[in-house]
Structure 1
Amino acid sequence: MKTTYRGYFTALMAVILLFGCRNFQKEAEVEAQWVPLFNGKDLTGWDIKIRGFELGVNYRNTFRVENGLLKVSYDDYDTFNEEFGHLFYQHPFSSYRLRVEYRFVGDQVPDGPGWALRNNGLMLHSQSAQSMGVDQDFPISLEAQLLGGAPEGERSTMNLCTPGSNVVMQGELREAHCIDSRSKTYRGDGWVTAEVIVYRDSVIHHLVEGDTVLTYSHPVMGGGAISGYDSKVYIEGKPMTSGYIAIQAESHPTEFRKIELMELDPK
């Protein structure tokens, strides 16, 4: 039987369309697994803890929702006196993917520390807001550090900082407080998509715009770099297998338009 070139082309296009539809369906099914932690309207589901204040006190309206954006704002501050704040999601997680879209806007509040310029973070496997001391500065956690670049010089984002924790990298326990990722520098006020993939205390990946920029494993409590904590909560060497998620307020205005999570092992 004679087969024409047009027949081959038609069959090939049918195969391409079939696989394209299947891939699109698969991608849609994956996207449907993402659950928004921020509802775009208010702070329902989140707990506020700011250094020097009791749980739930939103000092100077630091955390707010405006025009569908979750904002870390310093509009009502005249100066910054180490009122480091954290906004905790109310439920703990163990194995998951967390994806956010963030940007830095405006100027740092006067007297904010130099290192906190265009600085925020995603706190992973964190202690609960309820367990923090009134004057505690940072929660025991793993911080996926969100950083914006200055006009000159390089500054990676999605670095790792370790308040009250240590991790293993390349088979060695790393006790340095902060470890740089290999991301490029993101300057200006553009939106950046950051993601973490967390498998309990087995392995954790940091991603920026879909590119894996840092990987580490076996987080444990240790290392210091926190103050004002309850000694009963901090247990040197304890594996960090689960915990809470929080975002920071460290003196530079930050906006989030998306915070969403996909559980990998909900058990």
Structure 2
Amino acid sequence: MSNLFDTVFSKSHFSVALLVLSVLLMGCQTSEEETNQSSDSEWITLFNGKDLDNWTPKFTGYDLGTNYNNTFRVEDGLLTVSYEEWDQFDGEFGHLFYNERAFSNYKIRAEYRFIGEQAPNGPGWAIRNNGLMLHSQDPNSMSKDQDFPTSIEVQLLGGNGEDPRSTANLCTPGTNVVMDGELFTPHCVNSNSKTYHGDQWVTVEVEVRGSDIVKHYVNGETVMDYTDPQYDKNDGRSKGLVDGDNLLIDNGYISIQAESHPTQFRKIEVLPLDE
């Protein structure tokens, strides 16, 4: 009788334990779902799909605010870099800055595609080429004839239909980074992403942690990371931006490019992260 009682009692306690564990697991799952939903709701939409409010253009050779040849425009709800009104390209590199605020710790997510043909006389390297300029200098501090803002560029590239060509690469106008523990000074380096040919939409996401670490993702896959974004004191574009001996860049503005090839963005959004 005692053994039977002990068995029943043990089974009863086991059932109660299972019930308690199930409730706890359900609570954790609910909490995780709520956290994810909360995170999604905290994304800030930089492009509203209607107009270029809160965005300011800057083209080489022109004053801040001049939208040269109506290059940056909204067409069918898409932020479009258009060269329809250009006769030819002659070094008028353009950037469209989100002007509301600078960012430090955040994720940025953009959906882009390349369309049409490059503007006549556009440089060969700029075919199907755009970029997200992060940790950028204030556009008000750019000189009239400056080509690129001092920034960390997440270079966006499209394939030519045949050859491999990565995207979400790194370029460093006026800057350097640390890769594999060493200062990296070449201007550009390729990621390990796949090649995306044609006019397909591609999602690029970048996690920026101030002056600590930057990670690039393409369609959900990690393709590159590096640390210590910093000014290149040997580059003239950084003149006046360096604060004493501290070269690290821990915040800045965001812009997209106009480098001679038509491009469209259907989403650009930022998720601020904890400091």
TM-score (norm 2): 0.86
Which aligned runs of 4 or more in structure 1 are off by greater than 4 angstroms?
Answer: 11-23, 234-237
Structure 1 contact 131–230 (Cα < 8 Å) conserved? no
Q: Secondary structure at the match of 1:183?
A: coil
Structure 2 contact 150–238 (Cα < 8 Å) conserved? no
Q: Which residue of 1 aligns with 2:239?
A: 231
Q: Secondary structure at the match of 1:109?
A: coil
Q: Which residue of 1 aligns with 2:71?
A: 62
| Structure 2 unaligned regions, length at least 5 | 1-7, 12-18
Q: Secondary structure at the match of 1:92?
A: strand
Q: Which residue of 2 aligns with 1:138?
A: 148
Question: Which residue, out of 25, 35, 38, partners 1:29?
Answer: 38
Q: C-alpha deviations, 1:192-232, integer Å up to 9, x for none?
A: 0001100000000011111111000111111767x7x4832
Structure 2 residue identity aligned to 1:260: E
Structure with a larger share of its residues in helix: 2
Structure 1 contact 200–242 (Cα < 8 Å) conserved? yes
| RMSD (Å) for aligned C-alpha atoms | 2.4
Q: C-alpha deviations, 1:153-206, integer Å up to 9, x for none?
A: 111000000000000011100001101111010111011000110000000001
In the TM superposition, 1:1-267 aligns within 5 A as: 23-90=32-99, 91-222=101-232, 229=237, 231-233=239-241, 238-265=247-274
Shift of 1:23: 4.5
Q: C-alpha deviations, 1:121-142, integer Å up to 9, x for none?
A: 0001000111111000000000
Q: Secondary structure at the match of 2:103?
A: coil
Shift of 1:265: 3.3
Identity of aligned residues (%): 52
Q: 1:223 to 1:207 in 2, by over 3 A?
A: farther
Q: C-alpha deviations, 1:54-90, integer Å up to 9, x for none?
A: 0100010010112111011101011100110001111
TM-score (norm 1): 0.89
Structure 1 contact 95–263 (Cα < 8 Å) conserved? yes
CA–CA distance in 2 between the matches of 1:265 and 1:130? 28
Which structure has the bigger radius of gyration? 2
Q: 1:36 to 1:22 in 2, by over 3 A?
A: same
Q: 1:224 to 1:211 in 2, by over 3 A?
A: farther
CA–CA distance in 1 between the matches of 2:263 and 2:233? 28
Structure 1 residue identity aligned to 2:171: C
Number of equivalences: 257
Q: Which residue of 2 aligns with 1:8?
A: none
